[in-house]
Chains A and B, each alone.
Chain A
Amino acid sequence: MSTKIFVILFATTALVLLTVVMFFPQSETQADEFTEQDLARWQEEFMSVVNKGRELWVSPDLGTNGVACAQCHPNAANTHPETYPKFQQQLGKVIALRDMINWCLINPLEGKKLALDDPRMVAIEAYVTYERRGVPLEPGKH
Chain B
Amino acid sequence: MTHSCLTRRDFMKGAAALGALPVSMVELTFADARENFTFAYISDAHIQYISGNKFVRNWDRGLIRAVAETNLLNPKPDFVVFGGDLAQLGMKEELDHGAEMLSKLDYKTYCVMGEHDYYLDLGKYWSKLYGPHYYSWDHKGVHFVTLNSILTYDDWTHERWPTAMQRMIEMAGLDNPNGSPFMVGEEQRKWLAKDLAKVSKDTPIVLFSHSPIQKIYKGWNFWTEDAEEVQALLQPFTTATVVYGHVHQIQYNQIGNLSFNAVMATAWPWPYPQSYAQAESFLPKLTVPMNRADPFFERDATGWQLIDVHSGRVALHYKLYNNADRTVAFNPATGRPEDRTYQAAENRISPQLHY
The answer to whether the Cβ of A67 comes within 8 Å of any Cβ in the partner chain is yes
- B125 sits at the interface (CB 8 A): no
**Segment from B61-69, B150-158, B273-281, B344-352 that makes contact with A:** B273-281
Q: Are A77 and B271 in contact (CB under 8 A)?
A: yes
Q: How far is the CB of B19 from chain A (nearest CB, A)?
A: 21
| Number of chain B residues whose Cβ lies closer than 8 Å to a Cβ of chain A | 27
The reply to whether B175 and A72 form a contact with Cβ atoms under 8 Å apart is: no
Q: Which of A68-86 contact B (CB under 8 A)?
A: 70-75, 77-78, 80
Using A58-B173, A142-B355 as known contacts, say yes or no to A75 and B295 having CB atoms under 8 A apart.
no
Verify if A140 is at the interface (C-beta below 8 Å from B): no
B270→A90 contact, CB < 8 A = no
The answer to whether B268 and A71 touch across the interface, beta carbons within 8 angstroms, is yes
Q: How far is the CB of A78 from chain B (nearest CB, A)?
A: 4
CB of B220 within 8 Å of the partner chain = yes
Does the CB pair B271–A65 fall under 8 Å? no
Could you tell me if B56 and A74 are in contact, using CB atoms closer than 8 angstroms? no
Chain A interface residue number, banded: 20 to 34
Known: A58-B173, A90-B294. A73 touches B271 (CB 8 A): yes
The listed residue (A66, A72, A142) touching B270 by CB distance below 8 A is A72
Answer yes or no: B181 CB below 8 A from chain A CBs. no
B131 in the interface, Cβ–Cβ < 8 Å? no
The verdict on B174 contacting chain A, using a C-beta distance below 8 Å, is yes
CA distance in complex: A64, B58 (Å): 13
Closest to B278 in A: A131
Kindly identify, within residues 45 to 63 of chain B, every residue whose CB is under 8 Å from any CB belonging to chain A.
Answer: 48-50, 56-58
Closest-CB distance, B302 to chain A (whole angstroms): 11
Task: Tell me the smallest distance from the CB of A75 to a CB of chain B, in Å.
Answer: 5
Question: Given the complex, which residues of A lie within 8 Å of B279, measured CB to CB?
Answer: 75
Assess the A66–B271 pair: CB atoms within 8 A.
no
Docked CA distance A141–B295 (Å) = 17
Interchain CA distance A66-B277 in the complex, whole Å: 27
**Chain B residue with Cβ nearest A64:** B50
> Given the known A-B contacts A65-B56, A66-B56, are A77 and B268 also in contact in the complex, defined by CB atoms under 8 Å?
no
- A122 interface residue (CB < 8 Å to B): no
A134 adjacent to chain B (CB < 8 Å): yes
- Residue-by-residue, is B207-228 near A (CB-CB < 8 Å gives 1, otherwise 0)? 0000000000001100000000
List B contacts of A90 (CB < 8 A).
294, 296
Q: Could you tell me if A131 and B268 are in contact, using CB atoms closer than 8 angstroms?
A: no
| B50 engages A107 (CB within 8 Å) | no
User: Which of A70, A73, A78, A133 gathers most chain B CB within 10 Å?
Assistant: A78
Asked if A78 and B173 make an inter-chain contact with CB atoms under 8 angstroms apart, the answer reads: no
- A108 to B46: give the CA distance in the assembly, Å: 14
- Give the chain B neighbours of A72 by CB distance below 8 A: 268-270
Out of A74, A104, A141, A142, name the residue touching B276 (CB < 8 Å): A74
A135 on interface, CB distance cutoff 8 Å = yes
Q: How far is the CA of A75 from the CA of B270 in the complex (A)?
A: 11
For B173, list chain A residues within 8 Å (CB). 58, 70
User: Contact at B58–A75, with CB atoms within 8 Å?
Assistant: no
In the assembled complex, the CB of B93 is this many whole angstroms from the nearest CB of chain A, namely: 12
Q: Tell me if B298 is interfacial: C-beta within 8 Å of chain A.
A: yes
| Interfacial chain B residues near A132, Cβ < 8 Å | 277
Checking B58, B220, B292, B355 against A108 with a beta-carbon cut-off of 8 angstroms, the contacting residue is B58
Shortest 8 CB-CB contacts between residues of A and residues of B: A74-B175, A77-B271, A78-B271, A90-B296, A74-B174, A77-B276, A77-B275, A75-B175
28 A-B pairs in the complex with CB atoms less than 8 angstroms apart: A58-B173, A66-B48, A66-B49, A66-B56, A67-B56, A70-B173, A70-B175, A71-B174, A72-B268, A74-B174, A74-B271, A75-B219, A75-B276, A75-B279, A77-B271, A78-B275, A78-B292, A103-B295, A104-B295, A108-B58, A108-B268, A108-B298, A131-B277, A132-B277, A133-B277, A133-B278, A134-B278, A141-B355
Interface set of A (CB-CB < 8 Å, partner B) = 58, 65-67, 70-75, 77-78, 80, 90, 103-104, 107-108, 131-135, 141-142
Please name 7 further chain A to chain B contacts, defined as beta carbons within 8 Å, in addition to the given A70-B175, A108-B268, sorted by A numbering.
Answer: A70-B174, A75-B219, A80-B355, A90-B296, A103-B295, A107-B298, A134-B278
